[in-house]
Structure 1
Amino acid sequence: MSVLLETNAGNLVIDLFVDSAPNESRTFIALCLSKFYHYSPFVNVRKNFAVDSGNPCFPDPLSAPQPDNDMNYTPSSHLSPEKLGQVFFTSKGNEFSPQFSICLGPVTDISGHVFGTIGEGFTTLEYINDCVLDETGRPLKDIRILHTFVLDDPFSLPIESPPSPYPTQKQIDSFRLLLDQSALEDIKAESHALTLEVLGDLPSAKIQPSEKVLFICKLNPVTAEDDLRLIFQRFGEITSVEIIRDRRTGHSLCYGFIEFTNKSAVERAYKKMEGVIIDDRKVHVDFSQSTKRKRNRDDFI
């Protein structure tokens, strides 16, 4: 019952309160599955208090998807934000907004509907809390959501995740870089690959994500690299297996990467292993969309 937010400053795993906040949890999962949050910046940083994200239209007002059978904007959570790491939607009349906030410390006198808490990624929160800001509370160097992965969906929503979207021109125009204006204009004129390089998703615009790497998520925390190697080696020779772990605790973040020696092995594994049960968990596999298999805050300081 968790969601992974991959940002250019590190990963955040949100454990959802599906029992005490079912409407908020269900809606958040639906938005993540539909890739709604991609390229949303972290803004309005109030040090040791809270930070906002979830508006892919920034700096324009949020344009929220209309509620349907998978989304319900009627608040069901009665837990108010007060602790470090709590994730909450802000109130908007009798509804909540898809834009969400994360507590950066103990908070008081703030309205919202808590629907989860950060399970892994407190070093990323520290980086956000300590970054240099402008007068509006926006980091001088962009911190954005690059990908969202639902690691466990207790609602089994009938939503098929689309491919990760390219940033829109408006999103590209809103990217903030530590460059002078002429350099910024040159970068805006480049291709989508260069845009991803600026965001930190590609180390170079000329380097493409490897076609030999398979992404796997929704793993059981007890599943180890050797287990995956044993299971996937029937599809072809494996170069490496990596399960991403929290740097502080060493615990599995329940997703990882399997690198094969050729593309055809990845395709065979993708066709055969989607939805297969491994250690009592139905796993999800996909083609890797990133050349960086592991990010940490040191890459962005």
Structure 2
Amino acid sequence: MSVTLHTSHGDIKLELFCELTPKTCKNFLALCAKKFYDNTVFHRNIPGFIIQGGDPTGTGKGGDCIYGKYFEDEIVPEIKHDRRGIVSMANAGKDTNQSQFFMTYSKQNHLNGLYTAFGKVIYGWEALDLMEKETVDNNYKPLNEIKIFKTTIHANPIAEIEQF
């Protein structure tokens, strides 16, 4: 399963690890389907580290999920923050996942075991490069908005065939 983030800096296509992190992917896909992420901004951009979004308030303090207030981590030891483009849930501590997520700009092994990695960038590296180059303030908020205009969910045709 994959999702494209149509952003102000170009399209970024994500491959989701639905078999390994089903609850996280269900939440992310449901929010995409509800257009939850449409017209939201990436509120935190730390070059060399991560870019974070998924908060409709744009402050880093908001969020929502389909399971109630929060949902638990799905830490999979085989999925590591070992490269650029790993997509993970942002949280405020153990089992506090909602809608906020981040993409890594580089290898960040110290995040392993702390954040649910549920996907990876498979297209749109140029857009990620442009985002990383944006100027930020002292709180790492981009001075120019980095926006998600909309998301597109792409069905996996192999999964559909396997149902028969």
Taking the TM superposition and a 5 Å limit, the aligned residue runs for 1:215-294 are none
Structure 1 partner of 2:115: 112
Maintained 8 Å contact 1:80/1:112: no
Structure 1 partner of 2:43: 43
User: Structure 2 regions of 5+ residues with no counterpart?
Assistant: none
Once the two structures are aligned, what percentage of the paired residues are identical?
23
Per-residue deviation, 1:74: 2.6
Deviations 1:58-79 (A, max 9, x none): 22721414517xxx82322323
Match of 2:55, SS? coil
Q: Distance in 1 between matches of 2:75 and 2:155?
A: 20
Structure 2 partner of 1:150: 153
Per-residue deviation, 1:153: 6.2
Question: How many residues get paired?
Answer: 153
Q: Distance in 1 between matches of 2:53 and 2:81?
A: 16
Q: CA RMSD in A?
A: 2.2
Deviations 1:42-90 (A, max 9, x none): 122111111101111122721414517xxx8232232342321000002
CA distance change for structure 1 residues 21 and 65 in 2, over 3 Å: closer, same or farther? closer
Q: Distance in 2 between matches of 1:63 and 1:53?
A: 10
Q: Distance in 2 between matches of 1:145 and 1:83?
A: 23
Partner AA of 2:71 in structure 1: Y
Q: Distance in 2 between matches of 1:81 and 1:15?
A: 15
CA distance change for structure 1 residues 63 and 44 in 2, over 3 Å: closer, same or farther? closer
Taking the TM superposition and a 5 Å limit, the aligned residue runs for 1:68-87 are 73-78=71-76, 79-87=79-87
Match of 2:75, SS? coil
Maintained 8 Å contact 1:10/1:121: yes
1:121 maps to 2:119: no
Q: What TM-score results when the alignment is normalised by the length of structure 1? A: 0.47
Q: Which has the higher contact order (CA 8 A, sep 6+)?
A: 2
Structure 2 partner of 1:54: 54
Taking the TM superposition and a 5 Å limit, the aligned residue runs for 1:87-98 are 87-91=87-91, 92-98=93-99
Q: Distance in 2 between matches of 1:31 and 1:81?
A: 23
